[in-house]
Amino acid sequence: MNILSLFVLIPVLTVFAIMFTKNMKQTRVVSAIGMGIQLIMAGLLIYLYLTERQAGNMDAMIFYYDSLWFPTLNIHYTIGVDGISVAMIGLTAIVVFAGIFASWKVDYLYREFFISLILLSSGVFGFFISLDLFTMFLFYEVAVIPMYLLIGIWGTGPKEYSAMKLTLMLMAGSALILVGLLGIYFYSAATGSPLTFNLMEISKHTIPIAMQRFLFPFTFVGFGILGALFPFHTWSPDGHASAPTAVSMLHAGVLMKLGGYGAFRVAIFLMPEAAHEQAWIFLILTGISVVYGAFGAIFQKDLKYINAYSSVSHCGLVLFAILMMNETAMNGAVIQMISHGLMTALFFALIGMIYGRTHTRMINEMGGLMKVIPFLGVVYVIAGLASLGLPGLSGFVAEMTIFVGSFQHTDSFHRILTIAAASSIVITAVYILRVVGILLFGPIKNDHYLSLKDAVWYERLSTLTLLLAIAAIGMAPLWLSNMINFSLGPIVEKINGVATVAGLF
């Protein structure tokens, strides 16, 4: 069996196993084992991928497998990975694994919780391995829907409102995507040859420019909604704030990356001409996302809202970099996806743990936590430093690459936007340091906090997994960057190889 299919199969089997568990302990052990295997598999995949490349395999997609599903419509189950998707699979495996341990103590309807969570992850894995637009879309929706139950049942605050808002906005996004996909399908081949959903086949054919102009906004905005594109980002703060810890982690850490990945893999890769023409509109929108998200974070008092707005900012940066359409910026975009995925998952995990102890998420009600829960405090500071781009941690590598890449454009439009977006780093520093200052240092505002216990083993395991990955990328970014670059090169060449129909600028 193809190793990639296992990534969908293992979560499904884990779900079946959970159905037969008898108590909470068994449920979480089974979940942990399942996702542990998944993590090992992801490591194995990276290793196999690298050896394959070293052995000189130059195919665009490795571990390619194709099987016909619906012959009349030429729908296939086609899977394969390149450096970018391998990196995303690694990210997903780490975040899901950490998420299981972060929700170790879920006791209300625990079986259903882990089933939904793992089902969601199988959708995400499926999305990243798919090369057929139909299956890709199928997995995309599988990843979105369990969110409703996860937030609606196990969430906090105005959970029903947030769950419904999130689900409906994301489904509206998938409405746009569906129109885009169908349009791509019916123009996927020259007249006379069979139509196809296969991503790699379509990329060899040029979709008529008039159709591209029509379809590109559908596809890009559709995926952009999931990537928190301004002004369609409003589901994100509410959704993240109401969601239970593991779900926030998974959602901000992985699911929002589906948006960036899809916008890149489907919208820009398949319709480069229209992308060049219309990039300026979306560059402005994503630029607003970046700066607005950062400013939004400054004014929030709820820890989760702060992190949710910072996610809007950071994910906006991903789309921003993708739209710059040169190799360096796009490389940065992928690293940023991974780096932000790990960082934000770590943040949400920590917030969940702090909330579990203090029973509040309002920053002005807390203070001096560093003295009572030093482990969580230190990890929080490190995560914050990674978020504001301290060298040696993953955030620096990502943001540096993005801004260097963006600045390679010589025209003033791109440069001004780059400078504006880069200013978000400063704003990020403001809100991160402010939170760290109030939350961790200063006097202890509540005597009850003096008796707080520091992290227990499963919490340490969850946070350390994420922390190690962040540090690894920060210390040794080259192997990741090379892995991505190898696959990115031909793609960027294809995107920029089109007749340069310059946009407005």
Partner 1 sequence: MRHELILVALVLIVLIIDLNLKKSQKHRIIPIAISLFFIHTVVGFLPAQTGVLFGGMYHTDGLTILMKNILNIGVLIVLMQSVTWLKKEENGEKISEFYILLLSTLVGMNFMISSGDFLMLYLGLELATIPMAALAAYTHHQTRSAEAGIKLILSSALSSGILLFGLSLIYGSTGSIYFDTVGNLYSNTPMQVLAFIFFFSGMAFKISLVPFHLWTADVYEGSPVNVTSYFSVISKGASVFILIMVMYTVFHSIAYLWKDIIYLIAVMTMFIGNLFALRQKNMKRFLAFSSIAQAGFILLGILGGNKLGMTSTVYFVLVYIFSNLGAFGVVSAIAAKTGKESMDDYDGLYSTNPKLTLLMMLSVFSLGGIPPVAGFFGKFFLFASAASGGYYWLVFIAVLNATISLYYYLLVVKAMFINKSETPIAFFKSDTITRVALVICATGIFVIGFWSPIYEFIDKFTFAIVN
Tell me the closest approach of the beta carbon of residue 450 to partner 1, in angstroms.
Answer: 36
Cβ-Cβ contacts under 8 Å for 111 (sequence gap 6 or more): 18, 19, 21, 27
Q: Does 212 bind partner 1 (CB under 8 A)?
A: no
Q: Which H, E and C letters describe 19-70, residue by residue?
A: HCCCCHHHHHHHHHHHHHHHHHHHHHHHHHHHHHHHCCCCCCCEEEEEEEEE
Cα(468)–Cα(454) distance, rounded to whole angstroms? 20
In order, the DSSP letters of 260-296 are HHHIIIIIIHH-HHHHHHHHHHHHHHHHHHHHHHHHH
Cα(264)–Cα(240) distance, rounded to whole angstroms? 24
Tell me the closest approach of the beta carbon of residue 137 to partner 1, in angstroms.
Answer: 8
Q: Which is nearer to partner 1, 174 or 289 (CB)?
A: 174
Q: Which is nearer to partner 1, 219 or 300 (CB)?
A: 219
Contacting residue, 72, 410, 451, 500, with partner 1 by CB under 8 A: 72
What is the torsional sign of CA 32, 35, 38, 42?
negative
Tell me the closest approach of the beta carbon of residue 168 to partner 1, in angstroms.
Answer: 6
Find out whether 195 and 188 touch, Cβ atoms under 8 Å. yes
Asked if residue 391 has a cis previous peptide bond (ω within 30° of 0), the answer is: no
Window contacting partner 1 (CB under 8 A); options: 87-95, 144-152, 378-386, 447-455: 144-152
Q: Which is nearer to partner 1, 196 or 310 (CB)?
A: 196
Q: Smallest Cα–Cα separation from 101: which of 242, 243, 241, 245?
A: 245
User: Strand, coil or helix: what is 75?
Assistant: strand
Find out whether 102 and 462 touch, Cβ atoms under 8 Å. yes
Tell me the closest approach of the beta carbon of residue 354 to partner 1, in angstroms.
Answer: 26
Tell me the closest approach of the beta carbon of residue 207 to partner 1, in angstroms.
Answer: 14
Window contacting partner 1 (CB under 8 A); options: 54-62, 80-88, 131-139, 259-267: 131-139
**Interacting residues with partner 1 between 444 and 483 (CB under 8 A):** none
Cα(58)–Cα(62) distance, rounded to whole angstroms? 9
**Interacting residues with partner 1 between 149 and 188 (CB under 8 A):** 149, 152-153, 159-160, 164, 167-168, 171-172, 174-176, 178-179, 182-183, 185-186
Q: Which is nearer to partner 1, 215 or 402 (CB)?
A: 215
Tell me the closest approach of the beta carbon of residue 142 to partner 1, in angstroms.
Answer: 5
Tell me the closest approach of the beta carbon of residue 126 to partner 1, in angstroms.
Answer: 10
Residue 154's CB is within 10 A of a number of other CB atoms, namely: 23
Cβ-Cβ contacts under 8 Å for 191 (sequence gap 6 or more): none
Q: Does 134 bind partner 1 (CB under 8 A)?
A: yes
Q: Which is nearer to partner 1, 222 or 341 (CB)?
A: 222
Contacting residue, 16, 20, 47, 70, with partner 1 by CB under 8 A: 70
Beta strand extents in 136-238 (DSSP E only): none
Kindly tell me the burial class for residue 221, based on how many C-beta atoms sit within 10 Å of its own C-beta (0-12, 13-18, 19 or more): buried
Q: Does 148 bind partner 1 (CB under 8 A)?
A: yes
Window contacting partner 1 (CB under 8 A); options: 71-79, 277-285, 322-330, 427-435: 71-79
Window contacting partner 1 (CB under 8 A); options: 49-57, 70-78, 239-247, 482-490: 70-78
Cα(131)–Cα(75) distance, rounded to whole angstroms? 11
Q: Which is nearer to partner 1, 172 or 472 (CB)?
A: 172
Cα(310)–Cα(295) distance, rounded to whole angstroms? 9
Q: Which is nearer to partner 1, 63 or 134 (CB)?
A: 134
Tell me the closest approach of the beta carbon of residue 149 to partner 1, in angstroms.
Answer: 6
- Kindly state the number of chain residues that form the binding site for partner 1, as judged by CB under 8 A: 34
Q: Does 142 bind partner 1 (CB under 8 A)?
A: yes
Question: What stretch of H or E contains 257?
Answer: helix 256-262
Q: Does 24 bind partner 1 (CB under 8 A)?
A: no
Chain Cα centroid distance, residue 25: 30
For 94, the token pair is: 């780490």
Q: Which is nearer to partner 1, 61 or 145 (CB)?
A: 145
**Interacting residues with partner 1 between 221 and 260 (CB under 8 A):** none
Window contacting partner 1 (CB under 8 A); options: 63-71, 356-364, 383-391, 487-495: 63-71
Give the residues lining the site for partner 1 (CB under 8 A).
69-73, 75, 134, 138-139, 141-142, 145, 148-149, 152-153, 159-160, 164, 167-168, 171-172, 174-176, 178-179, 182-183, 185-186, 214, 218
